[in-house]
C-alpha cells in the first residue's frame, strides 16, 4: 500500500524494521490543508504510529480509506464545529474529543473535519496490517474487521496508546518495544470491540486492585440502576470523598461518568442487536425514560440512539 501515495506532506518517519521498505507501511490519512498540521511517524513490525498536531485554528479535514485497520486516539482538543464519520455508523458532531478513541476497520471510510476550539488539537493514528489480526481468530475472536467503533472511551486501551505516543514523540528506537506495544494495542482493540473483559491498569495513588475489580464488577452487574456514590465507596471501604478522588486517578474519570459510559456501551450492544424497544432499552440501562436515555446517549456519543440503531448491523459474537 502507499506506492502511489504522496508522502511529501509527512515529516520524516523513523523506520524500525531494517528489512522492510520505507514506504511499505506508511500513514495514509489525507489531511487538508497539509500545512495546518505537524506530523511525526514511526513504522515497523507491520504497523505505523503517527502523531498529528494542528497548527491552525481553521477548518481541517482528515480522510482515510485503506486496506489497513486504524485506531484514532484523540489526546487533546475541542472543536467549535465539526463532524466525525466512520462508514457503517452514524455521523457524530461531538464537540469535546479529549480521551476519545475510534476504530476504523480495513477498507472502511473515515472522515473527520473540525475547527479547533481554543487550544491545539492533538491526536494519534495507529495503523495495523490485517495479517496481525489473523492469529486472534484462533483465540475465539471473530469478525473484527466488520466492527467499527466511533468516539468511545476505554482506559486500558488509552494507557497502551499513550505509551506508543510517548515512544513516537521521543528519540527512542527500540523496535522490540515498539512491536510489543503495537501487538498489545491491537489485542486490546479486539477484546474491547468484541465486548470481552480487559485488565485495568493500576496507578500509584489510585484504587487497589481488589477495590477496582470489586467496584467495576458491581457497576457492570447493576447497569440498570443508578448506583449512589456511597454504595460504591462502601464496597471499597473508603469515604465518599476519598473514593471519588482515587477512582478518578485509576480510571481517568469520576464514578458517575464511568457508570454512564458503561451504560451507554451496553446500550450500543442492545441497539445493535435490536434487543427491544427504545423504552425497554432505556430501562435496561437504568434510565427513567427514553428521553433521559437519548439525552445521555447523545451527550456521550454525539449520536441519537435511534440513528445508531438504524445504522449498525448486529455486532459480532465470540466463541
For residue 35 the three cell numbers come to: 500545512
Query: Among residues 193, 226, 256, which one ends one of the domains?
Result: 193
Let me know if residue 26 belongs to a domain.
yes
Q: Domain end: 158, 193, 228, which one?
A: 193
The mean per-residue pLDDT over the stretch 66-76 comes to: 92
Average pLDDT score over residue span 156-170: 88
Q: What is the pLDDT averaged over residues 160-179?
A: 84
Query: What are the DSSP calls for 226-259, one per residue?
Result: ---HHHHHHHTTS-HHHHHHHHHHHHSS-HHHHH
Same domain? For 171 and 244 the reply is no
Q: How far apart are CA 271 and CA 288, in angstroms?
A: 17
pLDDT of residue 317: 40
Q: Mean pLDDT over residues 71-75, rounded?
A: 94
Q: Mean pLDDT across the stretch 156-180?
A: 84
Q: Which domain CATH number covers 304?
A: 1.10.10.60
Co-location of 23 and 123 in the same domain: yes
Residue 303 has pLDDT above 50, yes or no: yes
Do 133 and 160 fall into the same domain?
yes
Residue 5 lies in a domain: no
Question: Mind listing the pLDDT tens digit for each residue in 76-92?
Answer: 888 989 999 999 888 89
The answer for residues whose C-beta is within 8 angstroms of residue 49's C-beta and 6 or more apart is 41, 42, 43, 124, 125, 126, 127, 164, 165, 167, 168, 178, 182
Do 28 and 112 belong together in one domain? yes
The CATH number of residue 117's host domain is 2.60.120.10
Residue 206 has pLDDT above 90, yes or no: no
134 and 31 in a common domain: yes
Strands (E), 60-166: 60-64, 69-76, 79-86, 100-104, 110-116, 122-128, 149-152
In a domain? residue 82: yes
Is 23 in the same domain as 172?
Answer: yes
pLDDT for 95-150, tens place per residue? 889 889 999 999 999 999 998 887 678 999 999 888 766 655 555 554 455 678 88
**What band does 6 get if pLDDT is binned at 50, 70 and 90?**
very low
41 located within any domain = yes
* Domain range for 139: 14-193
**pLDDT tens across 233-287, in order?**
999 999 999 999 999 888 878 999 899 988 998 898 888 887 788 999 999 999 9
Domain count, the chain: 2
In a domain, 36, yes or no: yes
**Residues 26 and 144 reside in one and the same domain:** yes
Looking at residue 315, its pLDDT comes to 44
Same domain, 110 and 176: yes
Q: Do residues 22 and 143 share a domain?
A: yes
Sign, CA torsion 195/124/69/90:
positive
* pLDDT higher at 144 or 298: 298
Q: Which of 139, 158, 193 is the C-terminal boundary of a domain?
A: 193
**Does residue 234 lie in a domain region?**
yes
- Residues 234, 127 within the same domain: no
Are 56 and 172 contained in the same domain? yes
Residues 7-65 have pLDDT tens digits of 333 344 555 554 443 344 565 899 999 999 999 888 887 789 999 998 888 899 999 99
| pTM given for the model | 0.68
Residues 144 and 171 in one domain: yes
Q: How far apart are CA 230 and CA 239, in angstroms?
A: 8
In a domain, 7, yes or no: no
8 is a domain residue: no
Amino acid at each position: 500500500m502507499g506506492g502511489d501515495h504522496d508522502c511529501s506532506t509527512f515529516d520524516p518517519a523513523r523506520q524500525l524494521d531494517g528489512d522492510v521498505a520505507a514506504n511499505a507501511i506508511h500513514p495514509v490519512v489525507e489531511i487538508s490543508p497539509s500545512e495546518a498540521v505537524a506530523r511525526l511517524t514511526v513504522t515497523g513490525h507491520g504497523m505505523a504510529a503517527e502523531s498529528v498536531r494542528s497548527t491552525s485554528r481553521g477548518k481541517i479535514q482528515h480522510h482515510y480509506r485503506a486496506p489497513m485497520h486504524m485506531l484514532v486516539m484523540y489526546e487533546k482538543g475541542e472543536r467549535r464545529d465539526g463532524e466525525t464519520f466512520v462508514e457503517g455508523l452514524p455521523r457524530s458532531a461531538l464537540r469535546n474529543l479529549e480521551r476519545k478513541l475510534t476504530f476504523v476497520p480495513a477498507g472502511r471510510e473515515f472522515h473527520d473535519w473540525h475547527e479547533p476550539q481554543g487550544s491545539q488539537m492533538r491526536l494519534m493514528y495507529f495503523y495495523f496490517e490485517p495479517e496481525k489480526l489473523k492469529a486472534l481468530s484462533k483465540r475465539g475472536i471473530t469478525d473484527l474487521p466488520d466492527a467499527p467503533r466511533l468516539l468511545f472511551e476505554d482506559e486500558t486501551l488509552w494507557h497502551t496508546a499513550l505509551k506508543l505516543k510517548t515512544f513516537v514523540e521521543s528519540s527512542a528506537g527500540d523496535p522490540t518495544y515498539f512491536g510489543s506495544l503495537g501487538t498489545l494495542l491491537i489485542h486490546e482493540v479486539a477484546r474491547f470491540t468484541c465486548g470481552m473483559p480487559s485488565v485495568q491498569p493500576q496507578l500509584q495513588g489510585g484504587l487497589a486492585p481488589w477495590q477496582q475489580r470489586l467496584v467495576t464488577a458491581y457497576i457492570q452487574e447493576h447497569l440498570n440502576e443508578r448506583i449512589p456514590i456511597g454504595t460504591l465507596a462502601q464496597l471499597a471501604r473508603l469515604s465518599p470523598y476519598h473514593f471519588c478522588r482515587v477512582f478518578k486517578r485509576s480510571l481517568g474519570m469520576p464514578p458517575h461518568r464511568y457508570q454512564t459510559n458503561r451504560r451507554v456501551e451496553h446500550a450500543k450492544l442492545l441497539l445493535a442487536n435490536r434487543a427491544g424497544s427504545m423504552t425497554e432499552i432505556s430501562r435496561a440501562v437504568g434510565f427513567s425514560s427514553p428521553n433521559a436515555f437519548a439525552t445521555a446517549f447523545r451527550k456521550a456519543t454525539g449520536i441519537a440512539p435511534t440513528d445508531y440503531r438504524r445504522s449498525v448491523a448486529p455486532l459480532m459474537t465470540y466463541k
